[in-house]
Structure formats: structure tokens, C-alpha cells
């Protein structure tokens, strides 16, 4: 299992993705260059199991008007709660099975 990236890093990556609209008229051109870089970073940070997320991130950066979707931050929360759930399940004590017939 890959190490959980920091939430600050994920928020920063989403801010970088949204910042392309700070230059009027250049937003979509910058997004076309940023999209594959962002998808590769997503794949490296979240691993092979997040390949769908990397493809979604690529599409989100390329499609007009979708830059406001915080894909890195959403992936961070999904990974965080999945890891938390695994730890809770792993720490549950085993229960003895009781027989009604004794």
C-alpha cells in the first residue's frame, strides 16, 4: 500500500490546476499542457489502484469548465477513509461462535 500523500500537497495540486484561469484566454491552452503532467503526478502519488482517478484527472483538466473539481483532494479523502476503515476492521477482536445446541 502506498503512503498517504499530505492533504496540503493535494490541495496545492488542485489550486495549481485551477490557477490556469488567472490568465484570461490562456486557460484552456495551459490546461492542455498541464493535464498530462497532472495525471502522471496523480498516478505516481496514488499508485496503480488509482489509475481510473488519473484518467479522470486528465479528463477533468482537459474538459472546459471542470477545473473546479478538486480531484486530488477527493482522492485524498477516499484514500484516508479507506485506510481508516481497514485499520478499524483489523483491530476488531474475533468473536467466539456459540452453539445453540450446546
Question: What is the C-alpha to C-alpha distance for residues 32 and 85, in angstroms, rounded to an integer?
Answer: 37
Closest CA to 5 of 91, 59, 58, 83: 83
Q: What is the pLDDT of residue 50?
A: 86
Q: Is residue 70 part of a domain?
A: yes
Give tens-digit pLDDT for 14-25. Answer: 999 988 888 888
Q: Is residue 39 part of a domain?
A: yes
Q: Is residue 93 part of a domain?
A: no
Q: What is the pLDDT of residue 67?
A: 83
Q: Is residue 89 part of a domain?
A: no
Question: What is the C-alpha to C-alpha distance for residues 10 and 77, in angstroms, rounded to an integer?
Answer: 10
Q: Is residue 57 part of a domain?
A: yes
Q: Is the pTM of this model over 0.85?
A: no
Give tens-digit pLDDT for 37-51. Answer: 999 999 999 988 889
Domain interval for residue 72: 7-76
Q: Is residue 56 part of a domain?
A: yes
Q: Is residue 41 part of a domain?
A: yes
pLDDT higher for 88 or 67? 67
Domain count for the chain, please give it.
1
Residue 1 predicted with pLDDT over 80: no
Amino acid at each position: 500500500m502506498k503512503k498517504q500523500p499530505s492533504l496540503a500537497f493535494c490541495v496545492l495540486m488542485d489550486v495549481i490546476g485551477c490557477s490556469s484561469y488567472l490568465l484570461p484566454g490562456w486557460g484552456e491552452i495551459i490546461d492542455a499542457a498541464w493535464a498530462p503532467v497532472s495525471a502522471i503526478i496523480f498516478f505516481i502519488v496514488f499508485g496503480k489502484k488509482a489509475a481510473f482517478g488519473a484518467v479522470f484527472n486528465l479528463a477533468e483538466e482537459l474538459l472546459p469548465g471542470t477545473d473546479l473539481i478538486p480531484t486530488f483532494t477527493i482522492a485524498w479523502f477516499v484514500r484516508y477513509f479507506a485506510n481508516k476503515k481497514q485499520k478499524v476492521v483489523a483491530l476488531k477482536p474475533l468473536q467466539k461462535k456459540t452453539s445453540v445446541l450446546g
